[in-house]
Amino acid sequence: MTVNASEKLASLARSALSEMEATEAIGRSWLEAPVSNGATPAHNVVICGAGLSGLGIAFGLRRRGVRGVIVLDENPRGAEGPWVTSARMKTLRSPKHLAGLDFGIPSLTARAWYEAAFGDDSWQSLGKIGRHEWMDYLTWYRDVTGAEVLNGTRLTGIRHKETLDGSLLELDIEDGSGSRRMLCRRLVLATGMEGCGGPHVPSLVADLPRSTWSHSCECRDCGFLKDKSVVVLGASTSGFDWAVAALEAGAARVTMLGRSRSLPRTEVLDWSNFPGFLVGYADLPDEMRWAFARRYFTLKPPPTQDQFDRAIQHPNFELRLGCPVIAATYGSDRLELETASGQITADHLLLGTGYELDLARRPELAALTEGMVLWRDRLTWPDETALDRQIGAHPYLGPAFEFTSNSPEHAWINRVHLFNGGALPSLGPISNGVTGIKYGLPRIVDGVVKALFAEESGRFLSELAGYCHAHFDPRGRDKTNDNGEEA
């Protein structure tokens, strides 16, 4: 970045702070953090994940006057989220004009940052924001909004703990110095695509030697694919990202196998991105939300036009649709794949098979799964399909993304809020990417604030009962005291 760009970004940061002051964007602090117990730090809110969502929630809570908020992320600074790690596309998939992180502060928008970094006219000629530039924007946003982030820190466990300060969550965390604990009133899991399970690895692939395949969630330099014969499993967005990365790394041949006979063409997020749906979905009856979720999940996202065009321009790229893999074996340093269209040999297999929802795979959720309500506990269908079972495995969340408990003994789990794709059937597509975050952030922030105030309402009522600050001086003519009593 040039010196001039650095100066413009510094000036933009000052403008953002000025706009925050002018619009009363930073609320009055009203809630002190719980008292730390010896070496165990205590916070009002812990946010797991310092990516797009986690940083937005942290700023939203600061706007509402909540202090004692800390964000954890297992990755180093500047590598949070997938943008410069596992992501392989050149740009974001979402349109450049989408906002939300800014909370209405113009100088905090991605557009303002981009124009400061690359010139006043740069935005007009931009198609979509590059993923590396997006990461730079998020890092700048983090600094300007004052998020307190502990990088290199991983959440490994959650449990309930009664203390002198009341009911809290006790968290197990790991960092470079080992394992330790942390207390908090509320926990937000802004854990991205893997937050409710993990990468989907087909069973026939899982039986192969681990060195023979790579999943799109991995952060790998594709240089090892040079001169190799590669098979991409899955004709999805991540599959095409893999294909382009392999081709541009010099792979000798790339064959993509897709189970469907045609590529999807409809991007459901384009239809759903309107206020009525994104604001109103969460308040619909269960049956209506289920119906929307069923349709939503049937519309698989298509590859971006850019990635598709870049893949098919290579003469050594082959796309085979309607071609599932039936069996896979490994021998003599080669993979042998039996497919619906015949045998294929390859040096390496790249998985664009996405992620699966499996709460049991997440160690931090282990103590919650027994006590949480799932969608299958709310609705059942006489002719249940595989899609119904998929939706039914999602947690049934409350209006502030909180887990709901199935018994009084597990009531504490409503202190944990799930802000990722696992919330989609409950609250709609407002916590799984850039598109709906404008509506998701205010909902979770205000929900957490309401919960924190409700817990402390008795203390505030006592404070109000004793409140007698004088705002008016009657100049000796009034003979009552501040409580309206005779002096």
| pLDDT tens digit sequence for 82-131 | 999 999 999 999 999 999 999 999 999 999 999 999 998 999 999 999 99
Q: Are residues 217 and 258 in the same domain?
A: yes
Q: Are residues 24 and 149 in the same domain?
A: yes
> What count of other Cβ atoms lies within 10 Å of the Cβ of residue 113?
26
> Residue 314 corresponds to which tokens in the numbers above?
């290579």
Does 293 reside within a domain? no
Q: Are residues 164 and 307 in the same domain?
A: no
Mean pLDDT of 24-29: 90
Print the domain residue range for 73: 3-196+357-458
Does 487 reside within a domain? no
Q: Are residues 428 and 365 in the same domain?
A: yes
Q: What is the pTM of this model?
A: 0.94
Query: What CATH number does residue 180 fall under?
Result: 3.50.50.60
| Amino acid at site 171 | L
pLDDT of residue 1: 60
Q: What is the DSSP string of 166-221?
A: EEEEEEEEEETTEEEEEEEEEEEE--GGGTTEEE---HHHHTS-GGGEEETTS---
pLDDT of residue 479: 66
Which of 1-5, 136-140, 166-170 is the most confident on average?
A: 136-140
The whole-chain average pLDDT of the chain stands at 93
In the chain, the percentage of residues whose pLDDT exceeds 70 is: 97
Mean pLDDT of 423-435: 94
Q: How confident is the model over 302-355, as pLDDT tens digits?
A: 999 999 999 999 999 999 999 999 999 999 889 999 999 999 999 999 999 999
Does 485 reside within a domain? no
pLDDT of residue 448: 98
> What count of other Cβ atoms lies within 10 Å of the Cβ of residue 298?
10
| Amino acid at site 487 | A
Q: How confident is the model over 236-285, as pLDDT tens digits?
A: 999 999 999 999 999 999 999 999 999 999 999 999 999 999 999 999 99
* Residue 477: pLDDT band with limits 50, 70, 90: confident
Q: Are residues 210 and 341 in the same domain?
A: yes
Q: Are residues 47 and 189 in the same domain?
A: yes
411 phi and psi angles, rounded to 5 deg: -60, -25
Does 464 reside within a domain? no
In the chain, the percentage of residues whose pLDDT exceeds 90 is: 85
Q: Are residues 49 and 185 in the same domain?
A: yes
Q: How confident is the model over 175-228, as pLDDT tens digits?
A: 999 999 999 999 999 999 899 999 999 999 999 999 999 999 999 899 999 999
Q: Are residues 258 and 346 in the same domain?
A: yes
pLDDT of residue 213: 97
Does 163 reside within a domain? yes
Q: Are residues 99 and 189 in the same domain?
A: yes
pLDDT at 436 over 90: yes
Sort strands 213-215 and 334-339 into parallel, antiparallel or unpaired.
Answer: unpaired
Q: Are residues 102 and 210 in the same domain?
A: no
Does 128 reside within a domain? yes
pLDDT of residue 480: 65
pLDDT at 75 over 70: yes
Helix axes 237-248, 305-312, angle to 10 degrees: 40
* Distance from C-alpha of 9 to C-alpha of 198, rounded to nearest angstrom: 37
Does 190 reside within a domain? yes
pLDDT of residue 483: 63
pLDDT of residue 264: 92
pLDDT of residue 3: 65
User: Does the CA dihedral 450-414-45-54 come out positive or negative?
Assistant: negative
Q: Are residues 62 and 151 in the same domain?
A: yes
> Residue 154 corresponds to which tokens in the numbers above?
């991983």
pLDDT of residue 36: 78
If DSSP codes are grouped into helix, strand and coil, which group holds residue 69?
strand
pLDDT of residue 356: 94
Q: Are residues 249 and 206 in the same domain?
A: yes
Contact 86, 216 (CB under 8 A): yes
> Residue 398 corresponds to which tokens in the numbers above?
């409350």
Contact 336, 250 (CB under 8 A): no
Does 146 reside within a domain? yes
- Number of domains observed in the structure of the chain: 2
Which residue is it, tokens 């954890």? 72
